[in-house]
Amino acid sequence: MPIPLPVLRVALPVPLPRLFGYLPPPGAEAGAVAVGQRLRVPFGQREVCGVVVGHGEAEPGVELRAALEILDDGPLLHGELLASLRWLAGYLHAPLGEVLATALPASLRRGEPLPDIARHGWVLNEAGRTALPAMRAGKPKALAALLAEARGEDWLDDASPGWRTPLRGLRERGLVERVVPEEKVGSESPFRGKGDSDPTFSPNAEQQLAIDAIRAADGFAPFLLDGVTGSGKTEVYLQAIADCLARGKQALVLVPEIGLTPQALARFRARLGVPVHALHSGLNDGERAAAWWAAASGQARVVVGTRSAIFVPLPEAGLVVVDEEHDGSYKQFDGIRYHARDFAIVRARALGVPIVLGSATPSLETLHNAQAGRYAHLRLRQRAGAAQPPRVRVLDVRKRPLQAGLSEDALGAIRSALDAGGQVLVFRNRRGYAPVLLCHDCGWSAHCPRCSTEDKPTPMTVHAHGKRLQCHHCGYRKPSPPACPDCASLALQPQGNGTERIEEELGARFSDVPVLRIDRGSTGHRDALQKHFDALGARPGVLIGTQMLAKGHDLPNLTLVVVVGIDEGLFSADFRSGEKLAQLLVQVAGRAGRADKPGEVLLQTHHPEHPLLQTLVGGGYHAFAEAELAMRELAGFPPFAHLALLRAEAKHADPPLRFLHEAKEALREFPVDASGPLPAPMPRRAGYQRAQLILSAPQRRDLHAALDALVPTLYASPEARRVRWSLDVDPVDL
């Protein structure tokens, strides 16, 4: 009997639901390669980077290729993280190799070496000391003065954000040198973060109850920290994190994509006095890999990051926090469609640590879990300190004249707020100048040639004061036509109001104060947002913005919030649209009156009697949530049912429908409800025809048993080769 060859089982980032066997690279023993190490392997004509997930034996008669190279000295994905990722792949019915690739930072996924994460210090050398007195005032001189004493990079991150740029200049001039920081204990060390800004207040009774409950947790314990905006949830996180650090453990904090401002990071760094690593989309690949590896090696004690930070290894985990747990940015919308909050729960359980989900507007899923007793429900009902809840008024604008979508009442309220020295936020969740360009003579309107919604072509949004048209679904843009393409009339009129048009109107009307527009068109980067706020300072002024402005920023002088254009959200077909609108309204309203000034919120609508507005204004978010949960239960929607969305698209409409019909047929024997195939809500996007099948079951395990049977047949189906398909488990958008 020949002795079977030992082989490595490797997960590769390819869309196939299986592992691949490889012989170890020449000269290496299979047994010497550990689970979790990366390998470079030949795959077809290409070379790809994969992760070893097991060992096995070659099957007789199967020709195996040898791996080319072992990329790491030790495992990267192993222990709890690998086990949780295996669970995730099973849950999403996605190939393990693609899930592992998603979990790795891009540079590691490509097979690049682990980054050097040693934290250095910097000090002026002889030449620097001589040059310092004669240097011109400016950033280089200020940094040089700090570096008269050796300073660690952590300390510099705190004390002098952006220090790396002037440092480069000083290095080029040969004025500084690198030193290895000695470990000094205590917050005074010039190598550590400062950690010296204790709050000037002590926690109130509700905060203290929450802090004590989290402190008392032993092992896995999920908490919902349900606290109104401004109730001091961050203070609870900070104290829980400080406890976790005092026990020698690491903490992971997830924040929404637009919540992670330099402001928020600075607050964490200033308080905690340990290395706080950020992980978000504003970093380059090298910085992301460094933060990931710093967590893996235990150097990072606190990681604050957006969605993908849920994939950091936490060898010494002590606590997980998910801030604004209801936020839509936790769900990944393409590739591996995971939900970072849900996966955070899975990881906290596997790690055996407490997890805190915080929000002023908890998702209905999370509220339901709290009500069912699965999560401890901690409530902060009052705003912290002296801040008062804002007064909310519904403005009925039926039959009222509107200027750029704003009623006389709203404009008058803005004038009064400004005259009283306050700041005003006008919220309109629609970018651009106007949503539609219409020919007043013949009725023609501008549409995207590549997209359509509910079988109607999608209107193109008017931008740049009427000069440009842009599709918000596929990004297609073109100049506005000089005349109507159908009738040659010059009477082309922008219809409706986007943030640009509101800016134009308010800029002209309130020309005595700054009027600033804040949306993705005007403010690409998160630092730019801060610059806008800094430029405004404490002066009276008007901010006009989209969702970007709805959260995360403390604007102490904001006394009035005007919300316009909510009516379209009141009548959307998506079963989650009510929840999303209620959350948005409460979060936007929460911007008003954050400090000692009382705030007011005006909701402008043509439907003042709409039940959502009535319940929300009369009873608050929890009254709304009660009503909405009751409705979901009746209608059989989540959290009372579990959904999966199978989508397919192709250049022609037929193949997606055939593919989905076949899938539906395969599910006949299972206790799941399959609705469709139907055109997707955007049946044509960027030139592709899209259709979908919605699967639903009251019991999660029934849905998953059906998917376990279905998914392998999808991969094997000849119809699958004619379409691009995707499966979304627990979809957020239908």
Which residues lie near ligand ADP (CB under 6 A)? 201, 203-204, 207, 227, 229-235, 384-385, 554
Per-residue H/E/C for 181-246: CCCCCCCCCCCCCCCCCCCCCCCCHHHHHHHHHHHCCCCCEEEEEEECCCCCHHHHHHHHHHHHHH
User: Does residue 473 bind Zn ion (CB under 5 A)?
Assistant: yes
8-state DSSP, 113: P
Of 243-251, 380-388, 443-451, 516-524, the window that binds Zn ion (rule: CB under 5 A) is 443-451
DSSP track, 586-608? HHHHTTSS-SSS--EEEEEES-T
Binding residues, as ranges, are 439, 442, 448, 451, 471, 474, 484, 487
Judge whether 298 and 304 are in contact, CB under 8 Å: no
Of 192-200, 247-255, 438-446, 497-505, the window that binds Zn ion (rule: CB under 5 A) is 438-446
In the complex, residue closest to ligand ADP by CB: 232
User: Does residue 711 bind Zn ion (CB under 5 A)?
Assistant: no
DSSP track, 700-719? HHHHHHHHHHHHHHHHH-GG
User: Does residue 489 bind Zn ion (CB under 5 A)?
Assistant: yes
For Zn ion, the closer of residues 484 and 515 by Cβ is 484
β-strand 456-459 against 461-463: which pairing, if any? unpaired
d(CA 308, CA 281): 9
d(CA 619, CA 608): 15
Of 89-97, 197-205, 371-379, 446-454, the window that binds Zn ion (rule: CB under 5 A) is 446-454
User: Does residue 450 bind Zn ion (CB under 5 A)?
Assistant: yes
CB half-sphere exposure, 399, CA atoms < 13 A: 0
For ligand ADP, the closer of residues 11 and 384 by Cβ is 384
Q: Largest alpha-carbon pair distance within the chain?
A: 94
Which of ligand ADP, Zn ion, none sits in contact with 667, Cβ below 5 to 8 A by type? Answer: none
| Least CB distance to ligand ADP at residue 384 (A) | 3
| Least CB distance to ligand ADP at residue 602 (A) | 21
CB half-sphere exposure, 613, CA atoms < 13 A: 20
Which of ligand ADP, Zn ion, none sits in contact with 130, Cβ below 5 to 8 A by type? Answer: none
| Least CB distance to Zn ion at residue 654 (A) | 22
Which of ligand ADP, Zn ion, none sits in contact with 473, Cβ below 5 to 8 A by type? Answer: Zn ion
8-state DSSP, 554: -
| Least CB distance to ligand ADP at residue 217 (A) | 20
| Least CB distance to ligand ADP at residue 163 (A) | 26
| Least CB distance to Zn ion at residue 490 (A) | 9
d(CA 731, CA 579): 15
Which of ligand ADP, Zn ion, none sits in contact with 203, Cβ below 5 to 8 A by type? Answer: ligand ADP
For ligand ADP, the closer of residues 189 and 207 by Cβ is 207
For ligand ADP, the closer of residues 105 and 203 by Cβ is 203
Give the number of other Cβ atoms within 10 Å of residue 177's Cβ. 18
Binding residues for Zn(2+), as ranges, are 439, 442, 448, 451, 471, 474, 484, 487
Judge whether 549 and 425 are in contact, CB under 8 Å: yes
DSSP track, 365-405? HHHHHHHTTSSEEEEE-S-STTPPPPEEEEEE-TT--EETT
| Least CB distance to Zn ion at residue 441 (A) | 5
Which of ligand ADP, Zn ion, none sits in contact with 451, Cβ below 5 to 8 A by type? Answer: Zn ion
d(CA 598, CA 391): 8
User: Does residue 471 bind Zn ion (CB under 5 A)?
Assistant: yes
| Least CB distance to ligand ADP at residue 194 (A) | 17
Phi-psi region of 298 (alpha: psi -120 to 50; beta: other; left: phi over 0): left
Question: Given candidates 484, 582, 603, 674, which one binds Zn ion under the rule CB under 5 A?
Answer: 484
Q: Which of 433, 421, 414, 361 is nearest to 561 (CA)?
A: 414
Question: Given candidates 448, 582, 603, 645, which one binds Zn ion under the rule CB under 5 A?
Answer: 448
For ligand ADP, the closer of residues 263 and 713 by Cβ is 263
Residues that bind Zn ion (CB under 5 A): 439, 441-442, 444, 448, 450-451, 471, 473-474, 476, 484, 486-487, 489
